Amino acid sequence: MTSARTAHLFLDRLSPNRLTICLHGLVAALLTVTLPTTADAHRRHQTPRAQTPVWFTHAALGDGIWTISDNGVDRMYLVEGQTHALLVDTGVGFADINAYARSLTDLPLLVVNSHAHPDHAGGNTDFHHVHLHADEPETLAHFTSKTNMRHTYNAFLDRPLPERLARLEADDYPELTLIQEGFVFELGQRNIEVLHTPGHTPGSIVLHDLGSGAMLTGDTVIGRAWLHPPLATSVEDFLMGLERIEARKDRITRFLPGHGEPLPVEFLDSLIGTAEAILSGACEGESHTTHIGAALLCEYEGAGIVFDPERIHNPD
């Protein structure tokens, strides 16, 4: 499965090396705009004009779907119907995602988190109102606390917590609308259905655009799924969610993950095969270190699952 393997190589999304490269680019850009040479300063009469470095970029994916890159850290998606637009995820919160999304659409904006990790819910405070699965508030409270956001920025983004996040008060957090399996976002001639797919977090969801067939999958259907972070559930739960997706596979045209490029529908078979191999013991896993700690890794046809050997099966 060449395409999935290629996608997998591209998708090793939380690779510190890739992030470092990306951050080096950002630092270079910041230095370029904030530290002009002496000669430049003289040319500008020592008053170089402040510039805002580019953080977000976007691209059209067709079918009225936009992907927004969070400076390479993660991908958000904007889906437009006739009457409303839906923003899936809010990124790390470094820059104002609300303003950016509104620059792409004039429609009233609904917002949902695929799950509540800091790279997907860190920008929630740019909104008054966010949708979240009913099993996810504990994850949200844990991962988007100021302490954890500061840790995320230090350990993952290699930079201090931005001032706009450091000064947040309790009143700045949005009102949550808790949703369940089967909830439908009605965007006007376009319905987006929610499937509950626990594993990566207790309240992870995928969003199925019933018209185009695209499925927005957060960190669930992704080149390398992580089932070892704090509050992740089990490989058994994860497989059940994948099987719920598989049950409607003939109505899915592509997967749009929270990191990396779109994935073909066939990729689901590889991910299911990997989960099954872990559950059966056919794959015992190789030791694997990530920035959040050591775990085991199994890979099959380009699909990888990083897991905690203590959280393979659900407790009886």
Residues that bind Zn ion (CB under 5 A): 117, 119, 219, 258
The answer to whether the CB of 177 falls within 8 A of the CB of 221 is no
Minimum Å gap between C-beta 290 and Zn ion is: 12
What tokens does 176 get?
């949550």
Q: Taking the complex as a whole, how short is the minimal distance between the CB of residue 186 and Zn ion, in angstroms?
A: 27
Rg (CA), the chain: 20
Name the minimum Å distance from CB 200 to Zn ion: 5
Smallest distance, Zn ion to C-beta of residue 93, A: 13
Cβ-based nearer residue to Zn ion, 117 or 208: 117
Min dist CB 229 to Zn ion, Å, is 7
To Zn ion, the closest distance from the beta carbon of 259 in angstroms equals: 6
Whose Cβ is closer to Zn ion: residue 187's or residue 206's? 206
Q: How far is the CB of 43 from Zn ion (least distance, A)?
A: 43
Select 85 or 232, whichever has its Cβ closest to Zn ion. Answer: 232
Instruction: For Zn ion, give the closer residue by CB, 205 or 268.
Output: 205
Q: Which is nearer to Zn ion, 149 or 187 (CB)?
A: 149
> Which two structure tokens, joined as six digits, stand for 170?
């309790």
| Residue 114 or 212 with smaller CB distance to Zn ion | 114
Please identify, using beta-carbon distances, which residue of 90 and 125 lies nearer to Zn ion: 90
The whole-angstrom distance between residue 251's C-alpha and the CA centroid of its chain comes to: 23
